Amino acid sequence: MTEPTTPQTPSPNTFETEEPLRKGEYSRQGEFHRNLNPNWSYYPVYVNKVALIDELLRKYGCQSGKTLDAGCGEGVLVEKYAQQGWDIKGVDKNYASAYVEEGSITQLPFADNTFDTLLCLDVLEHLYYNDQKQAIKEIRRVVKPGGTLLFSCPNLAHFTSRLKLMFRGKLLRTASVGHHPGDRPMLEYEELFEKAGFRIQERQGIFPTVPPIYRFVMRHPAKSAGLLRLLRKVPFPVGWNFQVLFVCKLQKEVAS
């Protein structure tokens, strides 16, 4: 998937009169997760990701207890669930508002064993490899033993990327190297989680990049959200998908 193109003009905050703090991509592009552009190449994946996250959170009973969305951007999900009565916080290094605290996922500003549920959605790929390990260490620190974790990660080894490597000797990255310096295949993310003591409960894929599907979605993102929703019901191998969601449980004891 090519580097996503997003709206370039920042939009006013829609849920708080006080202007939020915006840095990095949010100062350049505005609140592009809140104000979705249907022609954004990532649009159909994002729409399906949000729907699947909601399904998984409810399936695993995450409505109760304390929840953290780490690297939450504008805090779209934080706002949504807070308004439904959830005890949820958001943290992001490039954004702060009534719903989001400024802070880094590699040094989370929370005490040990604070949260019952933690979301880390499309964050790890933006970190360098060493920073990924530090972020996961911090995530493990702030989650209670037995807690639930939900990660979403783009998969460097999606189907079309494998074909490109086979026939052209080069992987099709999920974004530019500068945007996703920590790009990994799905199984490498699994190894990171398991080494940290996260037991994987479930894997769900979005967007199997079989060439005819891939070409259609790239050319017609605004028309593709429904197609990807239907394809979630087709038993493609999870590793063929562009996006993978992992539901994990933090084990109470980690084997040495």
pLDDT in tens, 60-100: 999 999 999 999 999 999 999 999 999 999 999 999 999 99
**Distances in Å between the alpha carbon of 47 and those of 34, 40, 158, 173, 218?**
11, 11, 19, 21, 15
Residues 6+ apart with CB under 8 A from 182: 124, 125, 126, 127, 128, 129, 131, 132
Q: Are 148 and 193 in contact (CB under 8 A)?
A: no
**Distances in Å between the alpha carbon of 65 and those of 78, 88, 246?**
14, 9, 20
**Distances in Å between the alpha carbon of 58 and those of 55, 61, 127, 151, 231?**
5, 5, 29, 15, 21
pLDDT higher than 60, residue 13: no
pLDDT grade for 251, boundaries at 50, 70 and 90: confident
pLDDT higher than 60, residue 6: no
Supply the pLDDT for residue 8.
40
What SS3 state is found at 243? strand
Residues 6+ apart with CB under 8 A from 11: 30, 31, 34, 35
Q: Which residue has the higher pLDDT, 12 or 116?
A: 116
User: Which CATH number, 3.40.50.2000, 3.40.50.150, 3.40.190.10, 3.30.1380.10, labels domain 21-250?
Assistant: 3.40.50.150
In tens, the pLDDT along 28-40 reads 888 999 999 999 9
% of the chain beyond a pLDDT of 70: 91
Mean pLDDT of the chain: 92
Q: Are 252 and 75 in contact (CB under 8 A)?
A: no
Mean predicted confidence (pLDDT) in 161-184:
96
Supply the pLDDT for residue 253.
64
pLDDT grade for 19, boundaries at 50, 70 and 90: confident
pLDDT grade for 122, boundaries at 50, 70 and 90: very high
